[in-house]
Amino acid sequence: IKLGVMASGNGSNFEVVAQAIANGQINAKIQVLIYNNPKAKAAVRAENHGVKSVLLNHRDFKTRADLDRQIVQTLRQHDVDFVIMAGWMRLVTQELIDAFPDRIINIHPSLLPSFKGVRAVEQALAAGVKITGCTVHLVCLAVDSGPILMQAAVPILPDDTVETLHARIQVQEHRILPLAIANIGNG
Ligand code: GRF
């Protein structure tokens, strides 16, 4: 499969997908990385893997729809047939979803449907749940709400902070995101 990856930040999930492709765990190619934040480390990682990256800074667009139209055009230009949101921190519009129906997945740091949104790790800690985790799901218009493809559980330990908990959740993200993509690649 020809992947397009969208990322806003560190890009550790981009990294594990690129590695899983390099070592043959996933039969795919990353055609392009789209990032919206000029400082995103994901862009450096792309360069290290020889992956083309395109900066589409949301600040340069008047509306979300304008940004998403440019995203769709960029994905099409690079012949992408499946999209991975790996820490994409912008709300998406129907334009983008309709361009790749059932072909956009996201990784989220909670056991959905609990703790949607950008503060999922903090909210799980505050709620006092003893188990949280991460979810790979299909993207639909409502945030963090599409059909669930894969999940992994992570226990919350008594001394956890947002940072320590997020780090342990990321270990599981880095396991299930490549696995989910591999499954998609296998039909
Ligand atoms: C991950 O925790 C992911 O679940 C969330 O954003 C974070 C991205 O991390 N959507 P990274 O940039 O891949 O390191």
pLDDT average, residue stretch 121-128: 98
2-185 CATH: 3.40.50.170
Distance CA 62, CA 67 (A): 8
Confidence grade of residue 44 (pLDDT, cut at 50, 70, 90): very high
Q: What percent of the chain has pLDDT over 70?
A: 100
In the chain, where are the structural domains located? 2-185
91 is in an annotated binding site: yes
Residue of minimum CA distance from atom 5 in ligand 1: 87
Q: How many Å lie between the centroid of ligand 1 and the Cα of residue 144? A: 13
Are 120 and 109 contacting, i.e. CB atoms less than 8 angstroms apart?
A: yes
pLDDT digits (tens, 9 = 90+) for 72-118: 999 999 999 999 999 999 999 999 999 999 999 999 999 999 999 99
Output the DSSP codes for 108-134: ESS-TTSS-STTHHHHHHHHT-SEEEE
Q: How many Å lie between the centroid of ligand 1 and the Cα of residue 13? A: 6
Distance CA 62, CA 68 (A): 11
10 is in an annotated binding site: no
Confidence grade of residue 7 (pLDDT, cut at 50, 70, 90): very high
The ligand 1 atom at the shortest distance from the C-alpha of residue 88 is: 10
What positions carry a catalytic annotation? 108
pLDDT average, residue stretch 1-6: 98
Are 81 and 32 contacting, i.e. CB atoms less than 8 angstroms apart?
A: no
133 lines ligand 1 (CB under 6 A): no
> Is the pLDDT reported for residue 4 higher than 90?
yes
**Residue 187 confidence (pLDDT):** 82
144 lines ligand 1 (CB under 6 A): no
pLDDT digits (tens, 9 = 90+) for 132-169: 999 999 999 999 999 999 999 999 999 999 999 999 99
Distance CA 59, CA 95 (A): 19
Q: How many Å lie between the centroid of ligand 1 and the Cα of residue 86? A: 6
Residue of minimum CA distance from atom 7 in ligand 1: 87
